[in-house]
Amino acid sequence: MKQVITTEKIPIKIWSDNVEESALEQAKNLANLPFAFKHIALMPDVHCGYGMPIGGVMATKGVIVPNAVGLDISCGMLAQQTDIQYIKDLQLFDEDSNEKQMLKDWMGQIRECIPVGFNHNKEPQNDPVFNDVPDIEILQRELNSAKHQLGTLGGGNHFIEIQQDEQGYLWVMIHSGSRNLGKKVADYYHNKAKELCDKWYPNLPTMDLAFLPLNTEEGQEYFEAMNFCVRFSLANRLNMLRKINKIIGEDRFPEPPENINHNYAVMENHFNTNVLVHRKGATLARKGTIGIIPGSMGTSSYIVEGLGNQESFNSCSHGAGRRMGRKEAQRTLILKEEQDKMEGIIGSPRNQDELEEAPGAYKDIDEVMENQKDLVKIIHKLTPLASIKG
């Protein structure tokens, strides 16, 4: 932990040396909510979000806050190791092809079978996740669309990467969430929360933090809908992984994948109290829990093990964290410099518009990892070889 702010109703504990003022103001709003429990925790990747900063953790008693979960409910990470050692083994696939060309071929095939950006599958996807959809209006309304979205990457900072660990073994890493389904659910219940709070709780620091009491029909509905989005998000990443497994070789993945989420709320016991922990851009780091912390498209990612630090509510960062917005990155970053940072990596930015996710738009991942040594320990450091951005 780097610093503690004690000027608000409850403390704000921070694992970062440099928090932007807008994110700090959002954290202060959280710390003055009447239902916030114990303290607010800010992870080392913290930056401004809607209502609650991304990289923030808040425990509450009796309420759930849609904007403290986030718009992309259960956005998360998947990582799976192969038994392929880069260079040595890739040349065995095709004697006439070099390892770089093999990676390009794989990425081309992945692009052909996994829709990215706003693209969806032409046919609805069959998956067990659809066998038990709660009878909730917004879910039923979006169900047909969701069946076409399952197994799609999305846009923004979502990605598929092939990476290499310290021993040269290749890994597949996927970052994606609950697609438009999660946003629809988030918007629907945030608007309901605003209506209720405007009527009954008009003195909130901001209506961006409008909440739903858990003992109301609306609160229970949102909690159930959110949990379906969590299951949908996990299934979405697994659907993409199965397609990638077929491209690379299903027998080349001897270990099961790690599939984790951020942007969710869950009941846990902390400081001998049952509370609802909201992790927005933060990941579970309970003692022994395996986590995934990605960098930017040009920097390392990490497989970690949680240390179970109670002061962070058993949480850690979900990535490097943005240091500038997407429009600012497109406007101010220099294309040649960002391409040089990704020298040797397949998938570097080709034009100014693609700089929104360039390495320079993100914080230094190694500094982020240094700031959370009391939250996680590193198991693997992964170096990117090829990247597909949504």
Asked about 175 being catalytic, the answer comes back as: no
Three-state SS at 224: helix
Between the two ends of the chain, the Cα-to-Cα distance in Å is 34
Q: CB under 8 Å, gap of 24 or more: what pairs does 347-356 form?
A: 347/107, 347/297, 347/386, 347/387, 347/388, 347/389, 348/297, 348/298, 348/387, 354/389, 355/329, 355/330, 356/326, 356/327, 356/329, 356/330
**Domain segments of the chain as ranges:** 3-323+362-389
Amino acid (1-letter code) at residue 373: K
Burial of 372 (0-12, 13-18, 19+ CB in 10 A): buried
Fold assignment, 3-323+362-389: tRNA-splicing ligase RtcB (3.90.1860)
Q: What is the pLDDT tens value at each position of the chain, 390 positions in all?
A: 899 999 999 999 999 998 999 999 999 999 999 999 999 999 999 999 999 999 999 999 999 999 999 999 999 999 999 999 976 555 544 545 566 788 999 999 999 999 999 999 999 999 999 999 999 999 999 999 999 999 999 998 999 999 999 999 999 999 999 999 999 999 999 999 999 999 988 889 999 999 999 999 999 999 999 999 999 999 999 999 999 999 999 999 999 999 999 999 999 999 999 999 999 999 999 999 999 999 988 899 999 999 999 999 999 999 998 888 888 889 999 989 888 888 888 988 888 988 888 888 888 999 999 999 999 999 999 999 999 987
Of 39, 47, 190, 318, the active-site residue reads 318
Q: Cβ(172)–Cβ(240) under 8 Å?
A: no
Q: Taking CA 151 as the corner, what is the angle to CA 147 and CA 156, rounded to the nearest 5 degrees?
A: 110
Q: Which two tokens stand for residue 229?
A: 């989005």
* Six token digits for residue 60: 């509450």
3-state DSSP call for residue 309?
A: coil
| Distance from C-alpha of 7 to C-alpha of 237, rounded to nearest angstrom | 42
